[in-house]
Copies of this chain bind each other. A is one copy, B any other.
Amino acid sequence: MPSQPAKVLETFPNPAPHRDYQIHMEVPEFTCLCPKTGQPDFAVLTLDYVPDRLCVELKSLKLYVWSFREEGHFHEDVTNRILDDLAKAVKPRFMRLTARFFVRGGIFTNVVAEHRKKGWKPTPRVDLAEFAAQSNFRG
A contacts, CB < 8 Å to B: 2-4, 14-16, 19-29, 31, 36-40, 42-44, 46, 48, 51, 55, 58-59, 61-62, 66, 69, 74, 76-77, 79-80, 94, 96, 98, 100-116, 122-139
Contacts and interface: CB of A to CB of B under 8 A. Distances in A.
A59 B105 contact: yes
A1 B132 CA distance: 36
Given A128-B22, A134-B138, A29 B42 contact: yes
A21 B59 contact: no
Copy number in the complex reads 10
A69 to B, nearest CB: 6
A76 B138 contact: no
4 tightest A-B CB contacts, nearest first = A131-B139, A21-B113, A16-B80, A100-B137
Contact of A107 (B58, B111, B112, B129): B58
